[in-house]
Amino acid sequence: MPEIFEMSFIQYHKLGVNKDFGNYMQRKTQIGNDDEMLTRTKLLEAAVSNGTNTTDFRNDKTALFNAAVSALCDFSPLELGSASSNPIQILDFFSGAGGTSLGFAAINGVFPVFNFLAGCDINPISAATYSKNFGTPTVCHDILEISKTRENIHVFLDTVGFDYSKPVILIGCAPCQGFSSHRKKHWDEEDDDRNSLVIAFSRIVAEVNPDVFVMENVPEFLSERYWKYFNKARQFFSKSGYIVKQNIYNAAEFGVPQERFRSIIVGMKKNFLLPEGCFTPDEYKTVRDAIGGLRSLEAGQSDPTDPLHKAVAHKQSTVEIIKKVPHDGGSLPAGEGPKCLAKVNGFYDVYGRLSWDKPAITITHYARNPASGRYTHPVQDRGLTAREAARLQSFPDNFQFEGKSDDIYRQIGEAVPPLLSCGVAVNALIEYLSAGPTNVQLKNEIGSVEMPVSNSYSSLIAAMKKTRRRA
């Protein structure tokens, strides 16, 4: 064990960072060599001292990401208050089940940095899931109400035990349906509450004054039609002293076995670099990587060892349609299936099978229903089980979902994939701890989307690829 690590741990313990040394050293043997431990030690020292702006830790991003990914695989729900001594507070608004927070929790599996105060969600079942996994009280509130007045915001902060003297990262992944390409007929509506939720979060940021904030949404959030909502929020952020950067990412770039494009917006009160993906298209994780080892099931069957691995009992007519779809990426043959499909364009993927050796399509809460998209198992004649959907979203098996079957599929489909969150969390921490980027680093960063992109989904993806630059 390197002497610097041994000395540092003693210092951390005296400062109140609560971590069992035996478990910490066991983690070392699982995920890192001595050089990686030195990297993590430097980062932890900086975090405990509330950040340092004199050292550049950016070369450590890959090592920390890899270690955090390994830790994510071994995630277990946190006990109440178990992270309360960690130095950087996390508040997650519109938390859902906690997919975004899970990326930050993975870093805690490497060394203890983040203290989860609360995940706030208007859905009581989602709020309960967050509480169960992150060791926090169940917080079920309407963010619109919280954001109405300064008094409301501070009452909320006091309720969750917010410490104004400690650093904080705010997460705000507002429900995305208001911006989704599936609502094209309603794009010109001004009064969608889901759109105003973004403004509500910006008011909370302005009042709380976090060290870092992170927003996630569908790629259409940065389109011409919705740029006004983003721009209004950005004005709030800028008035509060934040530098704001944003881009569109494919979750597969971070090891998620799924093609899921999302906009990520990050703000800090100093210059910083945006996250960069770790995987190229030829390295993307696949459906086989995620679910290939699970027990084979027929419609209506369940795995006796895993309650989430339970196949829907489809109607026999549905099973007969599925049987006609070629295995491993096949599509519904022309003339098969409900006649209504032939009358409407845009339903090419319904009853389609996933491909074993490609990432999945975007997983939604409809993933168990083959009639809702390409959600049929590559070779088995059924829709996806909740376990399969969770793995394709990169949730670890030990993550525990509250609620009935419908609730679980909804929470999985609405979540930010934890591996994508892990990449964002690693980047946020290291940029927060590091000195400002050099001119060379800024020149070679992937760049920020500073003008609205086309409303066309394909154009959005093309814009994402165009902004990717490497040193």
CATH code at position 424: 3.40.50.150
Q: What is the pLDDT of residue 465?
A: 53
Mean pLDDT of 114-134: 97
Q: Is the residue at 25 inside a domain?
A: no
State yes or no: pLDDT of 37 exceeds 80: no
Indicate the average pLDDT of the chain.
83
Q: What is the pLDDT of residue 249?
A: 94
Q: Is the residue at 32 inside a domain?
A: no
Mean pLDDT of 286-293: 96
Considering the domain architecture, whether residues 336 and 314 belong to the same structural domain is answered as: yes
Q: What is the pLDDT of residue 11?
A: 32
Which of 107-111, 126-130, 225-229 is the least confident region?
225-229
State which of 368, 384, 400 marks the end of a domain.
384
Cβ distance 413 to 56 under 8 Å? no
Instruction: Give the pLDDT confidence of 310-355 residue by residue, as tens digits.
Output: 999 999 999 999 999 999 999 999 877 666 655 555 456 899 999 9
Cβ distance 195 to 239 under 8 Å? no
| Number of separate domains in the chain | 2
Considering the domain architecture, whether residues 184 and 212 belong to the same structural domain is answered as: yes
State yes or no: pLDDT of 202 exceeds 80: yes
Cβ distance 118 to 156 under 8 Å? no
- Report which of 102, 103, 161, 92 is spatially closest to residue 127, judged by C-alpha positions: 92
Mean pLDDT of 272-291: 95
HSE (side-chain half, CA atoms, 13 Å) at 286: 14
Considering the domain architecture, whether residues 232 and 133 belong to the same structural domain is answered as: yes
Highest mean pLDDT among 224-238, 243-257, 332-346: 243-257
**How many angstroms separate the CA atoms of 453 and 226, rounded?**
10
For residue 176, indicate whether it is catalytic: yes
Confidence class for position 298, pLDDT limits 50, 70, 90: very high
pTM of the model: 0.86
Cβ distance 66 to 107 under 8 Å? no
Cβ distance 119 to 131 under 8 Å? yes
Determine which one of 120, 173, 176, 422 is catalytic. Answer: 176
Mean pLDDT of 457-464: 58
Considering the domain architecture, whether residues 163 and 217 belong to the same structural domain is answered as: yes
State which of 384, 404, 429 marks the end of a domain.
384
Considering the domain architecture, whether residues 191 and 72 belong to the same structural domain is answered as: yes
Q: Is the residue at 409 inside a domain?
A: no
Considering the domain architecture, whether residues 273 and 300 belong to the same structural domain is answered as: no
| Dihedral over Cα of 415, 419, 422, 424: its sign | negative
State yes or no: pLDDT of 45 exceeds 50: yes
Considering the domain architecture, whether residues 333 and 439 belong to the same structural domain is answered as: no
Instruction: Give the pLDDT confidence of 156-198 residue by residue, as tens digits.
Output: 999 999 999 999 999 998 875 544 444 444 434 444 444 588 8
- The residue segments making up the domain with residue 441 are 58-284+417-467
Considering the domain architecture, whether residues 328 and 217 belong to the same structural domain is answered as: no
Counted residue by residue, the chain has a size of 471
Considering the domain architecture, whether residues 276 and 305 belong to the same structural domain is answered as: no
Q: Is the residue at 8 inside a domain?
A: no
Give percent above pLDDT 90 in the chain. Answer: 63
State which of 384, 403, 437 marks the end of a domain.
384
The three-state secondary structure class of 359 is coil
Distances 429 to 43, 211, 423 between C-alpha atoms, Å: 9, 10, 10
* Residues 6 or more apart in contact with residue 29 via CB below 8 angstroms: none
